[in-house]
Amino acid sequence: MQVWAVANQKGGVGKTTTAITLAGLLAEVGYRVLLVDLDPHGSMTSYFRYDPDELEHSVYDLFEQTRVDAERVHQLVLSTSHDSIQLIPAATALATLERKAVAQEGMGLQVAKALRHLQADYDYVLLDSPPVLGVLMVNALAACQHLVVPVQTEFLALKGLERMVRTIQMINRARKHKLPFTIVPTFYDRRTQASVNSLRELHKHYPEHLSNAVVPVDTKFRNASLKGVVPSSLDAGSRGVHAYARLLRSLLEQR
């Protein structure tokens, strides 16, 4: 089982879309995929038509006690619109976690511990992280073997990324192996100077981490979310899906 996290401390850069689109493409080639929504806003949970205010069980359950047992973990898994993709949903209650986690030691590995119970059930797990450096993002970074960092190609894109790179360096001090990461430019529009310039800056500053896939602005992503299906089920030929397919190929090659 491979675990990938999608994170960036900046909001609205395409994290949730990246996780869901990659999940769809992995499922299409026959892999069993688990999505985990670690964002208190629950965008991924809502995408698949579950209400993060109403769910009886969610990823929050993992933080109620330090011990994580197998039965509890299996209870969290929900089905989605795609047969090969399942979801551990978020709950709004996750927002209260930061305060509690400070008081409780050792909450940084709750997700990693839970995933150990699911080793045999999935080929790939994708963790969607909130745009905040806190206990949830720390859990995602501690549980994954690879990190995908979507970066919106706009003015000041690099500023947010610098913060994320510092976070990765901090996490690396606590990890046995350095966390490999791939930067994915998103919302690219070659007609705008801001997109062209920021992509050039990314090439200059992070050549070894930059993905060769550049995700364009594509309204198909929003259409897919309105229908609650993965983008590749709605339109496998769209430019956006093509870009993510390219990203996926390079991620699979890096393994």
Ligand X SMILES: Nc1ncnc2c1ncn2[C@@H]1O[C@H](COP(=O)(O)OP(=O)(O)OP(=O)(O)O)[C@@H](O)[C@H]1O
Tell me, what amino acid is at 177? H
Interface with ligand X, residue 215, by CB under 6 A: yes
Interface with ligand X, residue 160, by CB under 6 A: no
CA nearest to 86, candidates 39, 36, 41: 36
3 binds, among Mg ion, ligand X, none (CB under 5 to 8 A by kind): none
Asked whether the beta carbons of 47 and 225 are under 8 A apart, the reply is yes
Cβ closest to Mg ion, residue 10 vs residue 15:
15
Rounded to the nearest whole angstrom, what is the least distance from the CB of residue 77 to ligand X in the complex?
Answer: 21
CA nearest to 35, candidates 107, 125, 110, 118: 125
Distance CA 21, CA 33 (A): 12
Interface with ligand X, residue 17, by CB under 6 A: yes
* Interface map 186-205 toward ligand X (x if CB under 6 A): xx------------------
Interface with ligand X, residue 140, by CB under 6 A: no
Interface with ligand X, residue 218, by CB under 6 A: yes
Rounded to the nearest whole angstrom, what is the least distance from the CB of residue 3 to ligand X in the complex?
Answer: 18
Q: Which residue minimizes CB distance to Mg ion?
A: 16
Instruction: Report how far apart the first and last C-alpha atoms of the chain are (Å, whole number).
Output: 12
How many of the other CB atoms lie within 10 Å of CB of 203?
11
Cβ closest to Mg ion, residue 25 vs residue 35:
35
Q: Please report the beta strands in the chain, taking only residues with DSSP state E, as ranges in sequence order.
A: 2-6, 33-37, 78-79, 85-88, 124-128, 146-152, 181-186
Cβ closest to Mg ion, residue 130 vs residue 185:
130
Rounded to the nearest whole angstrom, what is the least distance from the CB of residue 70 to ligand X in the complex?
Answer: 29
CA nearest to 243, candidates 179, 201, 199: 199
Query: What are 13's two structure tokens?
Result: 């850069």
Segment near ligand X (CB under 6 A); pick from 13-21, 176-184, 192-200, 244-252: 13-21
What value does the CA radius of gyration of the chain take, rounded to a whole number of Å?
17
Q: What does the binding site for Mg ion look like in residue numbers (CB under 5 A)?
A: 15-16, 43
129 binds, among ligand X, Mg ion, none (CB under 5 to 8 A by kind): none
Footprint on this chain of ligand X (rule: CB under 6 A): 11-17, 39, 43, 131, 186-187, 215, 217-218, 221-222, 225, 240
